[in-house]
């Protein structure tokens, strides 16, 4: 990986943020040298900042001296998270859907031009699923993302429609014409149905979750086998999403801070 060049005059806080952003779901532990290369920080600077962040519990060191995100950062983030109430409200409905479908059930929210997954329920032997808690996917490739995009702002839709739309399988939506048609269908029928869009063996079905003001704030989705039995699942997902929407409205929830 090529070395990133650090901006001149960058603040200590900005440097710390870039250290956190060096970690990925696939690479949760890094050496200080890898952090230095990914952030563009001089090795001595990276080493000093890492040591300070470890001392505060925001980073932690493994037995082999590799560095990972610390429990303290997770603690503070969870305590202040505006999505915590949404996750808590969603869990009973997700559990109900999971009892019916027996594969994957997840809740996702819009974050930039991606869908961010807050929670997921799964089971042994469930169909393949590449999503994970705190993981992201492009909006055009997942059922959750398509629901959020269909009800998103016009400027967001235009940015995504402008592409490029990466192809994952022969069934992935990769043209603006097809995507516009799909978004219109989602708004009309009330759910997204995505057979084989991200993996040919898997099918995603998602429905919108609304807050007390009627705004779509999340998508409730399932990932199940891509077979004929899936045709019976959309009503289950839609019913759960409507129930969660009513729960949010009863609790007075309006939107999520951006």
Cβ neighbourhood burial of 11 (10 Å; 0-12, 13-18, 19+): exposed
Per-residue pLDDT of 48-72, as tens digits, reads 999 999 999 999 999 999 999 999 9
Could you give the domains of the chain? Answer: 12-72 (1.10.10.10), 81-250 (3.30.450.40)
The per-residue pLDDT of the chain, averaged, comes to 91
Give the ranges where the chain is alpha helix by DSSP (H): 12-21, 32-39, 43-55, 71-80, 84-101, 143-150, 154-161, 176-189, 234-250
Q: Which residue has the higher pLDDT, 25 or 88?
A: 88
State if pTM tops 0.85. no
pLDDT at res. 76: 83
Judged against a pLDDT cut of 80, whether residue 150 lies above it is answered with yes
Can you list the pairs that 151-157 forms with residues at least 24 positions away whose Cβ atoms lie under 8 Å? 151/187, 151/208, 151/216, 152/110, 152/216, 156/113, 157/183
Judged against a pLDDT cut of 80, whether residue 158 lies above it is answered with yes
Judged against a pLDDT cut of 50, whether residue 157 lies above it is answered with yes
Per-residue pLDDT of 188-226, as tens digits, reads 999 999 999 999 999 999 999 999 899 999 999 999 999
Mean pLDDT of 154-182: 96
């Amino acid at each position: 990986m090529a070395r990133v060049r650090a901006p001149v005059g960058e603040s200590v806080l900005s440097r710390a943020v870039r250290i956190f952003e060096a970690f990925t779901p696939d690479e949760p532990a890094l050496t200080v040298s890898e952090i230095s290369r990914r952030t563009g920080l001089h090795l001595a600077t990276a080493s000093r900042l890492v040591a300070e962040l470890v001392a505060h519990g925001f980073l932690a060191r493994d037995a082999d001296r590799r560095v990972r995100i610390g429990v303290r950062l997770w603690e503070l983030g969870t305590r202040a998270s505006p999505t915590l109430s949404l996750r808590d409200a969603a869990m009973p409905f997700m559990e109900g859907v999971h009892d019916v479908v027996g594969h994957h059930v997840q809740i996702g929210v819009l974050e930039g031009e991606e869908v961010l997954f807050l929670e997921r329920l799964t089971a042994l032997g469930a169909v393949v699923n590449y999503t994970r808690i705190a993981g992201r996917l492009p909006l055009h490739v997942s059922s959750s993302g398509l629901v959020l995009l269909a009800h998103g702002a016009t400027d967001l839709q235009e940015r995504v429609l402008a592409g490029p739309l990466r192809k994952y399988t022969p069934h992935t939506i990769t043209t603006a014409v097809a995507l516009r048609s799909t978004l219109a269908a989602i708004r009309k029928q009330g759910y997204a149905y995505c057979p084989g869009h991200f993996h040919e063996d898997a099918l995603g079905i998602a429905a919108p979750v609304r807050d007390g003001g009627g705004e779509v704030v999340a998508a409730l989705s399932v990932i199940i086998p891509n077979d004929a039995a899936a045709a019976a699942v959309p009503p289950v997902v839609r019913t759960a999403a409507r129930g969660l929407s009513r729960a949010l409205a009863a609790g007075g929830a309006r939107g999520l801070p951006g």
